[in-house]
Each structure stands twice: as C-alpha cells, then as structure tokens.
Amino acid sequence: MAYKDFISIVHKSTKRDYLARVNEYPKAEAAKLAKRFDYDYWDGDRKIGYGGFKYDGRWQKVAQAMVDEYGIQPGDRILDVGCGKAFILYDFTQVVPGVEVRGIDISQYAIENAKEEVKDSLQVCHAKSLPFEDNSFDLVISINTLHNLYCHDMFAALKEIERVGKKHKYICVESYRNEEEKVNLLYWQLTCEGFYTPDEWQWWFEQTGYNGDHSFIYFE
C-alpha cells in the first residue's frame, strides 16, 4: 500500500471561499438537500453541491496518470466505486481504447445523467455490497466517496473493494492534518459522514485489510 496523489491537480484547480460556503445558505438545509444526491446536488445551485456537474475533460489527465502508473492495457477491467456521472470512466476508454469499465453509484440521478458513451456499464448500487465476483477487476478506484459513508458502511465498502480487486486498487478520501483544515472541511463539505486524520484512515485500512493505494484531499 502506497500514497499516490493523482487528484491534487483537479482538487487544487478550484478556488474555495470557506466562510461564504457556511454563511451564504443554511448549512443544515444544504446538507439535507445534498444528501439526496439528486438534481440539487449535481446540477442545482452551487450552494447545495457542484452547481452543474458537466463534462469538461479535466479527469482525462488523472485517468492517464493512473494508466501510466498501473500499466493498464486494452482488455483490462476497471471499476469505479462511487462513479457519479462516470466522467473518469469515459476518459479511461479514451486513454486506453479497449478497456472494459464498470461503475456503481448510490445516485439514480447521476447514473441516469451519466456520460452517454458508458452509461450501459453503470448501475445504482451501494458501495457496501458490490455485485461482482471476487478478483473481478484489474483496477478498482473510489474517488471522493468513502468519507460519505457511516463507519460501519465504510468498513464494509473497503472490504468489498479489496475483495473485487485482483490487482490494483486506489482510493481518495477527504482528511485533515490540523485544526484549520478540519474547520475548512466542516465549512465546505455537504455530504461527509466520516472525519478522519491520515493516521485514523490508516487504522481503517489495517482493520479492513485494504492493501491498495490511497491519497487524501485537504482543504487548506
């Protein structure tokens, strides 16, 4: 298991006003709406989620970095746990034509409004119980998803990722290293249920037997 940062190039491209986020709209109401993971979260007002989650190609450089790191070849199988609209799965198919992609997400809205080219490879499903055989995928990824689960479901999801991945696994989750980053995370997040330091995440990895790679998002 290694720390491999594929996501900072996307995460750090967004400017965030943490105080505005917590003051511009009632935070509890925003969180209630966001946790439905429907239109408001994906394509509604920015105060409640992404403010319009549209494909712009920014994830292709992340897909390329993973392909280079893990030696992904045509015919390999890739699973995204918490795929949303499956933009990165589409980008994998562009970077390596011939890969087989699958994606699951809890959001019916996201699946229905996913990238059309890969929509047939997606399904609504909870990460705690993946409908795939053991050792089914050459690469399993989960980006900005597992921190949205309560600890018991996150425990199950980590074990499921380990179970279905036969080779490479990579997850990225939100974390904090100091009080400033903790406060910023609390101000910015809308759907997070697990707030853990890197050491605590490491503890979870050990408890669940997760031996893939990982990285953290910090709200600096």
Weakest mean pLDDT among 10-14, 41-45, 207-211: 10-14
Q: How far is CA 142 from the centre of its chain?
A: 4
What would the two tokens of residue 161 be? 């990722």
Ranges of each domain in the chain: 8-217
Interior angle at CA 135, CA 130 and CA 140, nearest 5: 65
Question: Does residue 1 carry a pLDDT above 90?
Answer: no
Question: Which pLDDT score, from 0 to 100, does residue 155 have?
Answer: 98
Q: How far is CA 209 from the centre of its chain?
A: 20
What distance in Å separates the CA atoms of residue 65 and residue 46, rounded to the nearest whole number?
29
What distance in Å separates the CA atoms of residue 1 and residue 218, rounded to the nearest whole number?
20
Q: What's the whole-model pTM score?
A: 0.96
Task: Tell me the percentage of the chain whose pLDDT exceeds 70.
Answer: 100
pLDDT mean across residues, the chain? 97
Question: Which pLDDT score, from 0 to 100, does residue 144 have?
Answer: 97
Helical ranges in the chain per DSSP H: 8-11, 18-23, 27-34, 39-43, 60-70, 87-95, 108-112, 151-164, 179-188, 198-208
Q: What is the mean pLDDT of residues 19-23?
A: 90
DSSP state of 161: H
pLDDT digits (tens, 9 = 90+) for 151-163: 999 999 999 999 9
Q: What is the mean pLDDT of residues 138-165?
A: 98
Question: Does residue 12 carry a pLDDT above 90?
Answer: no
Q: Which of 129, 192, 203 is nearest to 161 (CA)?
A: 129
Is domain 8-217 given the CATH code 3.40.50.150 in the classification? yes
Cβ neighbours of residue 185 under 8 Å, at least 6 residues apart? 174, 176, 192, 195, 219
pLDDT digits (tens, 9 = 90+) for 46-96: 999 999 999 999 999 999 999 999 999 999 999 999 999 999 999 999 999
Question: Does residue 7 carry a pLDDT above 90?
Answer: yes
Question: Does residue 13 carry a pLDDT above 90?
Answer: no
Question: Which pLDDT score, from 0 to 100, does residue 61 have?
Answer: 97
- DSSP-assigned beta bridge partners for residue 172: 143, 215
Question: Which pLDDT score, from 0 to 100, does residue 15 have?
Answer: 87
What distance in Å separates the CA atoms of residue 59 and residue 43, rounded to the nearest whole number?
18
Look at strands 122-124 and 100-105 and give their pairing.
Answer: parallel
Q: How far is CA 97 from the centre of its chain?
A: 23
Is residue 38 very low, low, confident or very high in pLDDT (cuts 50, 70, 90)?
very high
pLDDT digits (tens, 9 = 90+) for 165-201: 999 999 999 999 999 999 999 999 999 999 999 999 9
